[in-house]
Structure 1
Amino acid sequence: MSGAPDESPTIMELTRLPLDGCGLWRHGTLTPAIVVCLILASSFIVADLYYYGVLGELPCQASNCSSTIPQPSVKLMMQDHMSHYIHHYGAEEFEEATSLADLPFITPNFITTVHIFVGALGGYLVSSEHYKIRQIAVGVFQFRIFLDMMDGVVYRRQLHQSTYVNGWGTLGYYIDAGADVLASVILVYGLFVYLARHPPRRNEGLPLRHPPEPITDVPVSRSTIQLTLVICLIQGCMRGMLWDRYQFAFHSVFSKVLHHKADAMLQASIFNSTLTRAVLWLWKLSSAEGMLGFVFFSIFLDFTWPMLVVIRKYGFIQLAVVVTISQLHAWQVSELLAKAA
């Protein structure tokens, strides 16, 4: 049958269409970046199953009982996956091998100052129009987070403190928090420069809409890009403050020394309950670092704008749900242990 040839795109051609400048799929197959992220995600799932399965019971801290099981850290249980399983343990092993904390010029604040400059380099690289350089920027930011973990390791080693907790109220605590906010601002500015130079197309960032709307040739306005990034930055700050609030609340409850065995056993039972561990695990994904983890994955896989739109549209809802569950559980735990001496 004669006629004009079918000029509709083939399945192979459709898989080559870019999503955010480069595209998740290339030549109809998985990219190395996707393989790396799948391996990481699988490793984190296995690590979570192992970590939450072997913690054991909270040791009885009363004077009339003893336990050889180390007390797990609430902060570590709420830490995002990259910081927990890679940066935290990596920093601990590095300090153990090098005795970095013993060097006279190495202080936590010195390391914090260094990672501010590393973050500035990452912000510059993430604004690049070249996909590979933006991937390198993700690595630079991960090194910044490693240094952020390292200043905590040095702080604890120099104070001969083994418990993994925040130094609430200290000067270093506020310097570290300020450095984290500054790094987030630098990242947001770098993303703005990149997105302003290469604006995404309308409806490109709505992957959850059914049926999906077609991507148009109309670029997203600069004001929309600015608003999206500012909302994400505000949300990140809120997540950081709320994470710190509930970390302090749960740490105070579960690290409290109870002098009656029955009270200590009740404390241990609550700590080891499925609900408590689920609440603490939810903050792995809901912390500021957890949100940044999703942003870094999106940069690495080159679908930055869709991820930012998802965070803008659904992030506050997800955060509100986690805060509600955490607050209700915190009230419940406080009420159950109110009479504990």
Structure 2
Amino acid sequence: MMWPSSQASKILTCLLLIIVVYCIYMDTFLFLRIQNYKIDAFQVQENVTVQESSTRKTDRVLPNYEDVIWVPCNINPLCHPTVKGLMVDHINHYIYGPLSAIVDVSLRISDKLLFITPNMISFFHVLVAIIGGKLLTCQNLAARRVGIVLFQIRMFLDDLDGHVARERKHIKGERSEVGTLGYWVDGVCDLIGVIAMMTGIVIYLKNNPPRRGYKGTPVSTLPYHQLKEINSSEDIEKDHTAAEIGISYKTKVTFQRIVQVLGLFSGQMVLSSLAWNRYIDIYQDVLENCTEYDVFKREATFKSGTFFMATLLWRVVNPHSYLHLLSLAVFCDKTWCFLKAVHYTGYLALVVAVGTSEYLVESIRTFVTSGVDSS
């Protein structure tokens, strides 16, 4: 069974469906916002040439997004689209990002509580992650679910420290400031959080190794109440119950196999993180930071459907998305099933994302640095 038969899981299923619909809705409106309104990073200068005048005229008729919305820009994730904003995962961009802004506005962290620095928030979410990692080692499912809630709080705090840093520097939209102290502190704290989560999962699976299957009476012929009983992971002392109904467990998964699967999944996380940060940096340099390149070509590239779909791919395969999926698997007590399903196939998704991005990077560079309009 994909979901445990409980009221909490039914509520979770409905909540996940709502979140998926909400994210698709927001992606659609983000694309329309990019196409139909001005973008901060590509506001053209007044001294344009005659050849650019027709394009300049088209740019002038585009309205400001701030003039047509009812949700204030300080909490609206669609207001200031940037390269990084297009590549941040859905949960962080559409849920935790606005929630961070609401908390900041309510508590006035950015302008009043100046003693609370972004780095302090980063250090605090490391502590939250360590506590969550400890809870993930527990045999009790309820305790592990509390641990997952703490890890989601950690991810929210990770968004909050970035929001506070941008507000204090008066930066609009998501941006990576590569090489700054805050960039490295945030990266190290994120790494510690991920290590805490993976360590907790390793310890739990070592102490409660998954089984390879069953033998004896065909499982498909068992009554539902017996299936429910032998599938429960809350009580590992089920062998006597299984024996009474003619079932014996097959061998447990070895710790070596557990480490292998988790190692392959962790490898995906590392490669995804490196590639994701690399392409954010490249796209920012080519489209947002290199003002010597033609602004109209950079804007045309940013507004293109091809670029939107390429960045959408990284929304799905970036390291934060991996953590959200893993959190969901742990919460639903399907950790091992999830890890087995993706420890190889996840690399295929990464290859597709990297290959697409490499081809697109070269195409963008050629377009914005040449005199040929290939849009």
Comparing 88-97 with 128-137, greater Cα deviation is found at: 128-137
Residues 28 and 73 of structure 1: is their aligned pair in 2 closer, same or farther, counting only changes over 3 Å?
A: closer
Alignment-mate amino acid for residue 82 of structure 2: S
Deviation at 1:117, TM superposition (A): 0.2
Alignment-mate amino acid for residue 108 of structure 1: P
| 1:291 has 2:270 as partner | no
CA distance in 1, matches of 2:25, 2:336: 29
The DSSP-based 3-state class of the residue aligned with 1:146 is: helix
Cα deviation 1:126-185 (Å, max 9, x = unaligned): 222122222222211111011111111111122222232012101111111011111111
CA distance in 1, matches of 2:213, 2:314: 30
Number of the residue aligned with 1:251: 284
The DSSP-based 3-state class of the residue aligned with 1:26 is: coil
Q: Does the 8 Å contact 2:264/2:344 carry over to 1?
A: no
Cα deviation 1:164-220 (Å, max 9, x = unaligned): 20121011111110111111111011001111122112279xxxxxxxxxx962211
Deviation at 1:307, TM superposition (A): 1.0
Comparing 320-329 with 162-171, greater Cα deviation is found at: 162-171
Residues 243 and 217 of structure 1: is their aligned pair in 2 closer, same or farther, counting only changes over 3 Å?
A: same
The DSSP-based 3-state class of the residue aligned with 2:148 is: helix
CA distance in 2, matches of 1:42, 1:302: 24
Number of the residue aligned with 1:108: 118
Rg (Cα) greater in structure = 2
Number of the residue aligned with 1:221: 254
Number of the residue aligned with 1:322: 353
TM-score (norm 2): 0.76
Q: Does the 8 Å contact 2:100/2:160 carry over to 1?
A: yes
Which of 129, 151, 157 is the equivalent residue of 2:167? 157
Number of the residue aligned with 2:151: 141
| 1:93 has 2:102 as partner | yes
The DSSP-based 3-state class of the residue aligned with 2:12 is: helix
Q: How does 1:118-137 map to 2 (within 5 A)?
A: 118-137=128-147
Residues 202 and 270 of structure 1: is their aligned pair in 2 closer, same or farther, counting only changes over 3 Å?
A: same
CA distance in 2, matches of 1:115, 1:255: 31
Number of the residue aligned with 1:33: 12
Q: How does 1:261-272 map to 2 (within 5 A)?
A: 263-272=294-303
Which of 24, 32, 35 is the equivalent residue of 1:56? 35
Gaps of 5+ in 2: 47-55, 66-78, 215-247
CA distance in 2, matches of 1:223, 1:306: 17
Deviation at 1:242, TM superposition (A): 0.8
Number of the residue aligned with 1:190: 200
Deviation at 1:273, TM superposition (A): 1.5
Gaps of 5+ in 1: 1-14, 16-22, 205-214
Number of the residue aligned with 1:233: 266
Number of the residue aligned with 2:72: none
Q: Does the 8 Å contact 1:239/1:319 carry over to 2?
A: yes
Deviation at 1:125, TM superposition (A): 1.3
Q: How does 1:194-209 map to 2 (within 5 A)?
A: 194-202=204-212
Comparing 232-241 with 215-224, greater Cα deviation is found at: 215-224
Question: Once superposed, what is the RMSD of the aligned Cα atoms?
Answer: 2.5
Number of the residue aligned with 2:242: none
Q: Does the 8 Å contact 2:261/2:339 carry over to 1?
A: yes
RCO (CA 8 Å, sep 6+): is it higher in 1 or 2? 1
Cα deviation 1:67-126 (Å, max 9, x = unaligned): 635651111111111111111111012112221123132111111110000001111112
